[in-house]
Amino acid sequence: MSYKRRNIIRALREYDFDLAREGSNHTIFSDGRVSVPVPRHRQIASKTAMRIAKQIGVNWQQFKSKISYLVGKYYEKVYN
């Protein structure tokens, strides 16, 4: 399974991570103590999403529900 990059970025922003800089192949987000690279692909593999969750210190199930919830929240907003 893969997850949309924009949902991962939205979740990072909810965890108070801001854009730090643009790398050549990744966008780097930071909260001041931890820097997290996010690849520039529309779809992010689940293993990569797990690694991002681990780097920011969040339980995978919690992070997964947040990035999956954002998809449902988006569809509610668009189609209702």
Provide the number of structural domains found in the chain.
Answer: 1
Structural domain that includes position 46: 2-79
User: pTM, whole model, 2 decimals?
Assistant: 0.83
What percentage of residues in the chain have a pLDDT greater than 90?
A: 79
Give the model confidence (pLDDT) of 35-64 as tens digits. 999 999 999 999 999 999 999 999 999 999
- Quote the CA–CA distance of 77 and 74 in Å, as a whole number: 5
**30 by DSSP, 3-state: which?**
strand
Q: Domain containing 41 — which CATH number? A: 3.30.920.30
**2 by DSSP, 3-state: which?**
strand
Question: E strands, the chain, where?
Answer: 2-4, 18-22, 26-30, 35-39, 43-45
- Quote the CA–CA distance of 60 and 74 in Å, as a whole number: 21
